[in-house]
Structure 1
Amino acid sequence: MTALAGRDRTGEGQVVDLALIEPILTALGPQPTWYDQLGHVQPRTGNRSQNNAPRGTYLTADGTWVAVSTSAQSIAERVMVLVGRPDLIDAPWFATGEDRARHADVLDEAVGGWIARHTRADVLAAFEKAEAAVAPIQDVRDVMTDPQYQALNTITTVDDPELGPLRMQNVLFRLSGTPGAIRWAGRPHGADTEEVLTELGLTPADLAGLRAEGAL
C-alpha cells in the first residue's frame, strides 16, 4: 500500500521485497535490542515468558490444550483465586511480573494442576468469568468447525473432478469490490500436455507417436 501511494505521488513504481522470516522475527520482541545494549541472550523458555507468569500452555482433563496469559497484576491475582491458591498473592515475589516469572514452577503447578482437573469447556468458561485471558489451542479438527473461521469462510469447498468436493484454505484476504475465489484445486495430471507440446511445434502425429511409446 505504501508503494502504491508513492507511485500515485511520483508516477514511479518500486519493488516490494519481503521475506517470510522478517515478520516472524518480530515475534522475538525486544530481544535484538536487549542483545545490542546489554549483551543479553534469552535462553530457551518453551511456552514461558521471562517477563510474566503464569503464562503458558496447559493440558485439560479431556486431553486438549489451552493457552493462558496474565498480562497484568490484577489478572494474575484473579487467576490465583480461581485456581484455589489465593495464598500465593501475598508472597513477596508475586508483586511483579518479572518476579513471578522467576517462580513459574510454583505458578504452573497451581494453574496447570487446576486446569488438568477440568474440561476445556469448563476452563474457558471459568477464565472468561474471571476476566482472564485464555484461548483454546486448536488442531485442524477444531479449525474445520470453528464458528469464526466458518463466518469468514476461511476454509472453502472447491469441486474437484477427481476428488469431488474438496475443502482447503480460501483466499487469504477479503476485498469488498474484488473478493476473489478459488476456481479449481489444480488441473489433473497431464491435462495441458497436448496444448503445451503443440505450442512447442509437435504435430498430432508426433504426439500419437509419443503416446504409443509411453512417453506421454
Structure 2
Amino acid sequence: MTSRRKRQEINLTQTNAQPPLAGITVIDLSRLVSGNIVTHILADFGAEVIKVEKPGRGDDLRNWKVEGVSTFWKTYCRNKKSIALDFRHPDGMVVLKRLINGADVLVENFRPGTLEKMGLAPDRLLENNPGLVVVRISGWGQTGIWRDRPGFGSLIEAMSGFAAMNGFEDRPPVLPPLALADMIAGQSGATAVLMALRARDRDGTGQVVDLSLFEPMFAALGPQIANLRLSGREPGRMGSLSELSAPRNIYETSDGGFVALSASTQAMAERVFRAIGRPELVDDPRFRTNSDRVRNLNDCDQIVADFIRTRTRSDIMDLFSTAEVTIGIVATYKDLDGHSYITSRGVIEEVPDPGSTDFPMHAVSPRMSRTPGAITHIGPSLGADGPDLLKDFGCSADEIAGLVQDGILALPTDLEEEV
C-alpha cells in the first residue's frame, strides 16, 4: 500500500506527461461507425491509429456527407492516419501482415469468418504477435446461431427491445435518429481494449475481443428481463414519461417552447410541487412517495403540465432554476451553437481544416487532469500517410514505389472530390 501510494504521488507531480496511450499502435480495418468509435477514442488519447482503406474508395463513412462535406469522417476519424492499401492483392496482404505484426491492437468488423478466409485468423496473428489485441466487431457476435447474419445497428436497435419501448403508446415503435447501437458498442469496445492492454501489461499476452453490437445495446437497457419475469409485463411505450419516477416528461410552454423536467428523487419532487404553488401536494396521499406518484402518474403529470403551459419557456426556466429544480430546455443545435455553457466548458473545438475554414467538432471527453487527450487534426485524406507509414514499418523506397506502380498502394488523394 505504501509503495503504491508513493508512486501515485510521484506521478501526480510530473509535468508534460505523455498521452495515456502514447506508444500504442492500432491497425483499423473497420468501416462505418462502431469500429471508428473504438479507434476514435483510442486516438484521442494518444494511440497511433492507422486506418487501412480501399484505394479509390476509402472507408464508407466518407460517403456520409452534408453539403458535400464528409462531416462524420472528419469528426470520427480525427487524429488517425490513413493508408490506401489493396490488401486483397497478395503483395498487399504481405504489407498488411507486416503492419499487424508491428501493432498492439487490430480492429475489424467484417462478417464472422472473413478474417479466417483472408488468412488472418486470430490464432495465427497471435502466434506471430503474441501481445496483439484483436477486436472483432459484428452484429451478433462470433458465436451463436445468428453469427452469420448481417447486423447493422438499426436491426440491433429493433431486436434488442429498444424500439419496442421507444415512442408513444398509440404510435408505432421508433428507431433512434442516430447510430445508437454502433456508438454504444464503440464505447464498450474501447473499454475492452484498455482492459486487454492492462491484462497484457501483467503477462505479455494479447487476446481476442468478441464484440457484438447486440450485447452492449441489450445491456444498456438495464434489468428489463428481470422486470418482465417479476411482473409479467412488457415495458410499454410511454413517450417521455417514466415508469420509474414522476414527475418526468417534456412539457410545452405557452410560447411553443419545450422543457424537460425530471424529479427522480423525493426532495426534487417536493421542490416541483412548491415551485408550481401546490405545496399541499407534498402530503397528498396520491403523491406522497415516488411509488404513489408512479401509481398516479397521469394525474401527477397533468398537474405539472397544466402549470408549465401557462408560462413562457424563459419564465419557467427562471422559476424552476431559482427553486433548484432539475429542468432544461429541449435544445436544438441552433440553441447549442454559441450557448454560454458550451463556450464556457469548451464543449466544441474548432480544428484546422486544410483548404477550408476551421471545422467544429466535439472536444475530447472524458477530461483527464494529468494525461488529457487532444485533437491534432481532422480525419485525413485517403492514403494521406501511406508512404511515410510504410517507411516506419521497414519498407524500402523501392518496395513502396513498386506497390504504387502495381496499384496496390494509392498515393494521397482528396476523396471529398472523388466520391
Q: Does the TM-score normalized on the shorter chain lie above 0.5?
A: yes
Matching residue of 2:100: none
Secondary structure class of the residue paired with 1:67? strand
Displacement of 1:180 in angstroms is 2.8
Query: Which is greater in Rg?
Result: 1
Q: CA deviation at 1:122?
A: 2.9
Quick check: 1:160–1:185 contact (8 Å CA) kept in 2?
no
For 1:144 and 1:78, how far apart are their aligned partners in 2?
Answer: 31
Q: 1:184 aligns with which of 350, 354, 378?
A: 378
Extract unaligned runs of 5+ from structure 2.
Answer: 1-193, 386-399, 408-419
1:43 maps to which of 236, 250, 253 = 236
Identity %: 36
CA distance change for structure 1 residues 41 and 114 in 2, over 3 Å: closer, same or farther? same
The answer to whether the 8 A contact 2:287-2:300 is kept is no
In the alignment, the residues of structure 2 paired with residue 139 and residue 15 of structure 1 have an alpha-carbon distance, to the nearest angstrom, of 41
Query: Which residue does 1:34 correspond to in 2?
Result: 227
Matched, 1:81 2:274: yes
In the superposition, relative to structure 1, how do residues 179 and 57 fare at CA in structure 2: closer, same or farther (>3 Å)?
same
| Cα distance in 2 between the residues matched to 1:38 and 1:60 | 36
Counterpart of 2:252 in structure 1: which amino acid? L
Q: How many Å apart are 1:161 and its aligned residue?
A: 4.5
Tell me which amino acid in the other structure corresponds to 1:179. Answer: G
Q: Is contact 2:281-2:288 (8 Å) kept? A: no
Partner residue, 1:129: 322
Aligned-partner Cα distance in 1 for 2:236–2:378: 46
Greater fraction helix: 1
Partner of 2:290: 97
Distance 1:106 1:19, change over 3 A: same
Give the secondary structure class of the aligned counterpart of 2:274: helix
- Per the TM alignment, residue 196 of structure 1 is displaced from its structure 2 partner at its CA by 10
- The residue matched to 1:149 in structure 2 has which SS? helix
Quote the offset at 1:99 in angstroms.
2.6
Q: Identify which of 111, 120, 130 aligns with 2:313.
A: 120
Deviations 1:86-133 (A, max 9, x none): 343443221222331232222222212222232333323322332322
Query: Is residue 59 from structure 1 mapped to residue 264 from structure 2 by the alignment?
Result: no
**Matched residue, 1:214:** none
Does residue 199 (structure 1) correspond to residue 375 (structure 2)? The answer is no
**Runs of at least 5 residues in structure 1 that lack an aligned partner in the other structure:** 203-216
Aligned to 1:40, the other structure's residue is in SS state: coil
What is the CA distance between 1:162 and its match in structure 2?
Answer: 5.1
Deviations 1:138-187 (A, max 9, x none): 22122222344334433222343454233233445555546331423553
Query: 1:65-86 CA deviation, whole Å, 9 max, x = no partner?
Result: 2221122333322212211233
SS of equivalent residue, structure 1 residue 12: coil
Q: 1:152 to 1:70 in 2, by over 3 A?
A: closer
User: Which amino acid in 2 is paired with 1:201?
Assistant: D
Query: 8 Å contact 1:170–1:182 — kept in the other structure?
Result: no
- Aligned in 2, Cα 1:197/1:170: closer, same or farther, shift over 3 Å? farther
Work out the CA distance in 2 between the residues paired with 1:191 and 1:9: 36
- Pairing partner for 2:349 from 156, 171, 174: 156
Cα offset for 1:48?
A: 1.0
Whole-Å separation in 2 of the counterparts to 1:140 and 1:26: 29
Q: Is the 8 A contact 1:158 1:185 kept in 2?
A: no
The aligned residue for residue 199 of structure 2 is 6
Mean CA deviation greater in 21-30 or 38-47: 21-30
Q: How does 1:131-146 map to 2 (within 5 A)?
A: 131-146=324-339
Higher relative contact order (CA 8 A, sep 6+): 2
Q: Give distance in 2, aligned partners of 1:131 and 1:45.
A: 26
Give distance in 2, aligned partners of 1:126 and 1:145.
24
**75-84 vs 47-56, which deviates more?**
75-84
Moved more, 150-159 or 99-108: 150-159
For residue 378 of structure 2, what is the amino acid of its counterpart?
A: W
Alpha-carbon distance in structure 1 between the residues aligned to 2:276 and 2:209: 49
For 2:213 and 2:328, the matched residues in 1 are separated by 26
Q: Could you say what secondary structure the match of 2:208 adopts?
A: coil
Aligned residue-pair number:
200
CA distance in 2, matches of 1:186, 1:117: 51
Structure 1 residue 35 displacement after superposition: 1.8
**Alignment partner of 1:58: what SS?**
strand
| CA–CA separation in structure 1 for the residues paired with 2:310 and 2:281 | 20
